[in-house]
Amino acid sequence: MRDEQTLSLSMYTISNRELLIEFHMCYTLKVTKEEQWRKVPWKKFDKQIRKIQERIYDASSRNDLKRVRALQKVLVGLTSAKFIAVRRVSQDNRGKRSAGVDGIASLTPTQRMVLVNELEIDGKAESIRRVYIPRPDGRQRPLGIPTMKDRAKQFLLLMALEPEWEARFEPNSYGFRPGRSCQDARAAICQSLKQKAKYVYDADIEQCFPSIAHQPLLKKVNTIPRFSKQIRAWLKAGITFEGVTEPGPISPLLANIALHGLENHVAECLSTWSKKGELPKGSVASNGLTVRYADDFVILYPHVEVLERVVAEVEKWLIPQGLKISKQKSTIRHTLQKYNGNNAGFSFLGFYFSHKECGIGKTTWVANKYTREPLRYYLRQTPDKDRVQRHIDNIRDIVKRMEKRPQEELIATLNPIIRGWTNYYAFTDNKDTFRYCDERMFWRLYRYACNRHRSKGKKWIALKYFRSFEGRKWIFSTADHKHRILLYSKGVGRNVYRKVAKGRSPYDGDTRYWNNRWKAGVSSTKRYLHSQQNGKCEWCKGPIYFGHVVEIDHIIAKKDGGSNTKKNLRLVHGHCHDQIHGR
């Protein structure tokens, strides 16, 4: 088995050589760099990298560090890895693109080819552009945006390091990890609170990323000297991490590594106390739960005195990492009662969790298996009020800014925002909030219409801007019914979210499991096309994996009269879509 693996490792280097030969043929054929980029065999490249990453994951879960490092060295040297890194930073980050110090936000195919040839983990870092972004609390937050080259380099290293760490990370850390999201963090908290009201430690770390101590972090990363040198250079240049993945691809991973071990430490403390008999009667170590989303975390436990001890331990644990907990912002709360002057419940990632008492004579659950004692409260999770207000303010600003723009343009701007927001809160008790948002939205749009036509009467405005649709009156839509504002309350309904299974990672090679998860999270059209195409991209015929950028392409373009029917649609990779349209 062992020999076979070593052998196939060298086979990868050979197949890489083959790919190179294929490429050099392009050179001899005097094909321009632009043509070369268009001819990149992505399917082969993806497959090659994926195989190696799965092996790194596998070796890391067997604690075979020697093999992990050997594979990582191979990976960063591969041409295919460099191509994927450049593709990722120049094509795969759809949507917002921000320029680094070099002022480049996107690259032409020729520039991409040049970048691929330059890419090397050489221990150097270019300077970083500082941008200040206003925070919701009024302060400014610094954001360091690296240059395009550095971004590609970071991604190259990330491809090697991520599978290693994915095998090691703790089960209840959900931030910026492949295959995990806020929804999983929410589901984990729900599972823990379903049967019992608990005390919650809602922690806030002061200025997390800038204050992480570099030396202990590098020691923790524990990688080969060449990689360490590179990471040190980036840290010195001042890469930041502020809840956005875009600025530096590697910074979320570094933040996760710095805080890795917190959950295990809490669990260990609880189990030692349990063995010594120091826990209160009726509680066990497994009652505790630590859920972390990047630098944001909560600790749940049914007894306050134990929780206070845990908090002291956590503070002690954070000191060597150079981190401190902000005393003003961190609080202990209870999910059912008022505690220390704080209302019942707590907010995490924009969700508000609290317990509500049942009506008289009603129960929800048999809490204790032996005494069969019924539970007289139930868990309620709603959108956090602050977030709702912030969202409504945001909508107001957009509508004000677009006062002079036509109606369909306004609808086209607002609809994706509404859709995203309702999707985020789709799995909560959202009925009241959504109805409230609809009402606020209506008045906002009514005012928009009135401001546009000050001399007209109300009836005229109503007839021009509002129409009935599916039994509902006063829907903001254009005269031809083609553009219509979405309703928040359309997203109401108790949906079920399936939390990611414990110890799962997209690198574990279980395509079936991850395909099903991917399907559960996308629109019905994408789901339909995915099964029609047997899970493959219609353009390159390569498989669509979890984490790929996937887009819908019109076979006959819309401008040539192509329709929106499913027959005219196909599912393709983002980069394949670019190839189709010659970008």
Nearer to Zn ion among residue 46 and residue 242 (C-beta): 46
Q: How far apart are the first and last CA of the chain?
A: 45
552: contact with Zn ion by CB under 5 A:
no
Nearer to Zn ion among residue 281 and residue 581 (C-beta): 581
* Burial track 346-369 (b if 16+ CB lie within 10 A, e otherwise): bbbbbbbbbbeeeeeeeeebebee
CB of 46 to Zn ion, least distance (A): 9
Helix, strand, coil percentages, rounded to 5, for the chain: 50, 15, 35
CB of 578 to Zn ion, least distance (A): 10
Single out the segment in contact with Zn ion by CB under 5 A; choices: 164-172, 324-332, 469-477, 530-538: 530-538
Nearer to Zn ion among residue 45 and residue 176 (C-beta): 45
- 335, containing H or E segment: none
CB of 577 to Zn ion, least distance (A): 8
Q: How many CB atoms lie within 10 A of CB 583?
A: 12
CB of 565 to Zn ion, least distance (A): 22
Nearer to Zn ion among residue 198 and residue 570 (C-beta): 570
Nearer to Zn ion among residue 55 and residue 573 (C-beta): 573
Single out the segment in contact with Zn ion by CB under 5 A; choices: 132-140, 149-157, 517-525, 529-537: 529-537
Nearest to 53 by CA among 178, 152, 151: 178
Nearer to Zn ion among residue 166 and residue 578 (C-beta): 578
How far apart are the C-alpha atoms of 248 and 235, rounded to whole Å?
11
Among 26, 426, 540, 552, binds Zn ion (CB under 5 A): 540
CB of 572 to Zn ion, least distance (A): 5
How far apart are the C-alpha atoms of 506 and 493, rounded to whole Å?
29
Whether 131 contacts 139, CB under 8 Å = no
Question: What three-state secondary structure class fits 253?
Answer: helix
- Amino acid, single-letter form, for residue 418: I
Nearer to Zn ion among residue 123 and residue 543 (C-beta): 543
Nearer to Zn ion among residue 348 and residue 518 (C-beta): 518
* Burial track 268-304 (b if 16+ CB lie within 10 A, e otherwise): ebbeebbeeeebeeebebebbbbbbbbbbbbbbbbbb
Residue with the CB atom nearest Zn ion in the bound state? 537
CB of 580 to Zn ion, least distance (A): 10
Beta-strand ranges (E) seen in 328-482 are 331-334, 346-348, 351-357, 365-366, 374-375, 377-383, 466-469, 472-476
Among 69, 82, 180, 573, binds Zn ion (CB under 5 A): 573
Question: Backbone dihedral region of 500: left (phi > 0), alpha (psi from -120 to 50 degrees) or beta?
Answer: beta
Single out the segment in contact with Zn ion by CB under 5 A; choices: 24-32, 256-264, 525-533, 538-546: 538-546
CB of 84 to Zn ion, least distance (A): 13
CB of 542 to Zn ion, least distance (A): 5
Among 89, 395, 410, 537, binds Zn ion (CB under 5 A): 537
Single out the segment in contact with Zn ion by CB under 5 A; choices: 3-11, 168-176, 215-223, 539-547: 539-547
How far apart are the C-alpha atoms of 209 and 323, rounded to whole Å?
9
Nearer to Zn ion among residue 85 and residue 258 (C-beta): 85
Identify residues 226-265 at the interface with Zn ion (CB under 5 A): none
Nearer to Zn ion among residue 311 and residue 537 (C-beta): 537
Structure-token pair, residue 538: 């219609």
How far apart are the C-alpha atoms of 391 and 403, rounded to whole Å?
18
Whether 485 contacts 414, CB under 8 Å = yes
228 by Cβ neighbours in 10 Å (0-12 / 13-18 / 19+) ranks as middle
Single out the segment in contact with Zn ion by CB under 5 A; choices: 29-37, 264-272, 362-370, 531-539: 531-539
Single out the segment in contact with Zn ion by CB under 5 A; choices: 58-66, 422-430, 462-470, 533-541: 533-541
* Burial track 386-413 (b if 16+ CB lie within 10 A, e otherwise): ebbeebeeebeeebeeeeeeebeebbee
Among 169, 381, 576, 578, binds Zn ion (CB under 5 A): 576
Number of shown-chain residues binding Zn ion (CB under 5 A)? 5
Residues that bind Zn ion (CB under 5 A): 537, 539-540, 573, 576
